[in-house]
């Protein structure tokens, strides 16, 4: 017989179990020993809830061992044992249990009946978790009764445990608020990422629709998909942080430089640009606070395509960030040699580029932490069943993107977005916050921009002067309201408020920036 190893457990950062194995009885039969098979079928049917034909077929096989039901609940197992049917027996197997059912389902994933990981971390880190089976040879007597005599034995090697960077309390807060927005705005989908901007540690990541890890047999692929890392979308106005940062870093603008925003309509590069409301003269600071498309494009024209593209790449767009989850995509950015005449009017305000929610979280963290692009990660450590650390992850600096001075200046402007601009509903009571709203038109199948389908988003961090966390919220096709400042900003506000209070109340130390 094979001796099953213990599959490693998965814990949150405070060592609260998110996945573990529980020992359960699995029912087998020795068909040749069972005399009245139909009577046995009748006795088992109401307990197992299986089809009559299935049990009849299993018991009719000419075999000395056949599975009837795997990993039974303790109640069902006890009922069958009371029947005392000759020819039935039990073997101990372990079943994967997810104590928080829906929580962090897209991160954790699930394993199958044979304890092989099929989705999420369960699949990506299966080699760590699964362990190695052992085996033993035992003797039976002439009546096939197992004797307690073992001839040879190789003990199984238990799997290793994983400790995540996720905090289950922060995860719960993020999922609760995302779920409210997803339902109240009748959205097609939604994602949220909460990150420590100084280290790249993911504190929470969630998507809607979602599913129960303990009951995934009939779940659609759409519900299983981790949208935060594998869904591509045009970001819209949240992308203006790249244009603004590049312009300040390259000393092309100062906060008080004035741009004429053409009273809401501007013909450039063969297209007519519009603002969501008309503006005349705006300072550069107000261009970002009021999210003026025309002002942003005029800033981008001072930079030129090559410089703007260099900063888009530097902020982490167009390539994978290397998070320790399978399924991450690189997004899509077009090199300047392939730009059309109108590209310089579209890309600076987040059209004609494809990004992920995770990439936006890393990009806004650059401004929060003083100019550094950190590699996001979700596995804190790998440990054995004695708690000894086998592998410890640390924060990794990908590159320096902008100077500390530029980051501080953009941070001040983004604080103004929440205090005076389009992000007022993102204002966190008792704390300062910085952020940017986005409302992006989705593409129709014919390549035109939709006037009914939008992605509403908000990216930000709090407290503004000493950020504890970065939060990105994206909501796919909300209605009837679809503006990022109305749909996504309140999610940011509630999550930031509750999480900061939780961190301060528990005095949970956040790692300092990697040198």
Q: What is the pLDDT of residues 144-160, one digit of tens each?
A: 666 666 667 888 899 99
H or E element in which residue 241 lies: helix 240-249
pLDDT reported for residue 166: 97
**Between β-strands 10-11 and 161-164, what pairing exists: parallel, antiparallel or unpaired?**
parallel
Six token digits for residue 299: 């800033």
Residue 194 near residue 469 (C-beta atoms within 8 A): yes
Are 121 and 162 a contacting pair, CB within 8 Å? yes
| pLDDT band at residue 514 under the 50/70/90 scheme | very low
Whole-number CA gyration radius for the chain: 28
pLDDT in tens, 460-495: 999 999 999 999 999 999 999 999 999 999 999 999
The candidate with the shortest Cα–Cα distance to 105, out of 117, 121, 91, is 121
Query: Residues 254-278: what's their mean pLDDT?
Result: 91
- The pLDDT tens digits of the residues spanning 231-240 come to 999 999 999 9
Q: What is the pLDDT of residue 303?
A: 95
**Residue 471: which of 124, 179, 206, 224 has the closest Cα?**
206
How is residue 304 written in tokens? Answer: 């030129």
SS3 154: strand
Q: Closest Cα to residue 30, out of 74, 68, 1?
A: 68
Cis amide linkage into residue 442, ω under 30° from 0: no
Q: Is 440 helix (H, G, I), strand (E, B) or coil?
A: strand
Q: Is the peptide bond before 209 cis (omega within 30 degrees of 0)?
A: yes
pLDDT score of 165 more than 90? yes
Q: What's the whole-model pTM score?
A: 0.88
Q: What is the 3-state secondary structure (H, E, C) of 259-327?
A: EECHHHEEEECCEEEECCCCCCEEEHHHHHHCCCHHHHHHHHHHHCHHHHHHHHHHCCCCCCCCCCCCC
List, for residues 33-51, the tens digit of each pLDDT value.
888 888 988 999 899 988 8
Cα–Cα distance, 11 to 5 (Å, whole number): 19
Q: Mean pLDDT for the chain?
A: 92
Q: Is the pLDDT of residue 508 over 70?
A: no
User: How large is the greatest C-alpha to C-alpha distance in the chain, in angstroms?
Assistant: 97
Give the Å distances, CA to CA, from 314 to 84, 307, 402, 410: 70, 11, 9, 16
């Amino acid at each position: 017989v094979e001796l099953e190893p213990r599959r490693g457990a998965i814990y949150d950062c405070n060592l609260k179990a998110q996945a573990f194995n529980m020992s359960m009885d699995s029912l087998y039969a020795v068909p040749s020993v069972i005399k009245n098979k139909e009577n046995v079928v009748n006795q088992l049917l109401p307990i197992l809830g299986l089809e009559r034909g299935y049990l009849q077929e299993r018991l009719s096989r000419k075999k000395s061992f056949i599975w009837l039901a795997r990993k039974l609940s303790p109640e069902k197992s006890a009922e069958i044992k009371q029947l005392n049917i000759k020819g039935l027996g039990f073997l101990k197997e372990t079943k994967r249990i997810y104590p928080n059912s829906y929580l962090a389902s897209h991160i954790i994933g699930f394993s199958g009946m044979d304890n092989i990981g099929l989705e999420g971390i369960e699949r990506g880190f299966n080699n760590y978790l699964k362990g190695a089976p052992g085996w033993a040879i035992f003797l039976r007597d002439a009546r096939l009764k197992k004797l307690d005599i073992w001839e040879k034995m190789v003990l199984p090697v238990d799997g290793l445990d994983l400790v995540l960077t996720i905090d289950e309390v922060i995860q719960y807060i993020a999922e609760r608020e995302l779920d409210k927005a997803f339902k109240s705005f009748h959205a097609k989908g939604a994602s949220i990422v909460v990150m420590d901007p100084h280290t790249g540690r993911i504190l929470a990541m969630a998507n809607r629709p979602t599913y129960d890890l303990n009951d995934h047999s009939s779940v659609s692929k759409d519900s299983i998909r981790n949208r935060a890392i594998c869904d591509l979308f045009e970001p819209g106005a949240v992308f203006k942080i790249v244009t603004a940062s590049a312009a300040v870093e390259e000393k092309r603008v100062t906060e008080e430089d004035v741009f004429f925003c053409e009273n809401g309509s501007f013909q450039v590069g063969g297209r007519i640009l519009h603002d969501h409301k008309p503006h005349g003269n705006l300072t550069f600071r107000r261009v970002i606070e009021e999210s003026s498309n025309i002002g942003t494009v005029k800033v981008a024209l001072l930079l030129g395509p090559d410089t703007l593209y260099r900063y888009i790449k530097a902020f982490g767009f167009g390539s994978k960030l290397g998070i320790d989850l399978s399924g991450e995509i690189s997004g899509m950015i077009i090199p300047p040699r392939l730009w059309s005449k109108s590209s310089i009017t579209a890309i600076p305000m987040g059209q004609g580029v494809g990004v992920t929610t995770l990439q936006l979280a890393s990009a806004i963290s650059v401004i929060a932490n003083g100019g550094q692009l950190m590699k996001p990660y979700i596995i804190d450590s790998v440990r054995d069943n004695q708690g000894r650390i086998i592998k410890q992850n640390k924060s990794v600096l990908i590159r320096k993107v902008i100077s500390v001075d530029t980051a501080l200046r953009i941070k001040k402007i983004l604080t103004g977005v929440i205090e005076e601009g389009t992000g007022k509903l993102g204002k966190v009571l008792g704390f300062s916050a910085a952020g940017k709203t986005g409302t992006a038109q989705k593409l129709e199948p014919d390549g035109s921009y939709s006037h009914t389908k939008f992605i509403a988003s908000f990216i930000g961090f709090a407290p503004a002067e000493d950020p504890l966390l970065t939060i990105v919220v994206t909501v796919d096709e909300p209605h009837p309201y679809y503006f990022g400042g109305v749909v996504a900003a309140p999610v940011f506000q509630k999550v930031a408020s509750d999480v900061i209070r939780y961190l301060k109340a528990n005095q949970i130390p956040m790692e300092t920036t990697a040198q």
